[in-house]
C-alpha cells in the first residue's frame, strides 16, 4: 500500500514508480544518506554514532 503522495517528497515516490531521480547535495534531506552518497560530509554529531545509539538503534 502506497501512502498518499506529498509534493515535498515527490522524488522518492517517482523512484518507486520507475522514474529516474537525480539526487544532489541540494535536494537530499538526510545527512547520513548524503554522506553515504558522497554528497556532503557526515555531520560531527552523527560521526561517533552516539546520537544513533541514544535513539536505540544499537543494542
Domain boundaries, the chain: 28-59
**Is pLDDT larger for residue 19 or for residue 37?**
37
Half-sphere exposure of residue 5: CA atoms within 13 angstroms, side-chain side: 9
Record the cell numbers describing residue 2, joined without a space: 502506497
Question: Residue length, the chain?
Answer: 59
Q: For residue 26, what pLDDT is reported?
A: 92
More confident residue, 17 or 23: 23
**Mean confidence (pLDDT) of the chain:** 78
End-to-end CA distance of the chain: 31
Residues 6+ apart with CB under 8 A from 45: 51
pTM > 0.75: no
Amino acid at each position: 500500500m502506497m501512502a498518499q503522495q506529498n509534493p515535498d517528497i515527490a522524488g522518492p515516490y517517482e523512484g518507486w514508480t520507475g522514474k529516474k531521480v537525480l539526487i544532489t547535495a541540494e535536494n537530499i534531506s538526510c545527512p547520513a544518506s548524503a554522506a553515504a552518497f558522497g554528497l556532503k560530509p557526515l555531520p560531527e554529531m552523527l560521526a561517533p554514532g552516539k546520537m544513533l545509539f541514544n535513539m536505540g538503534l544499537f543494542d
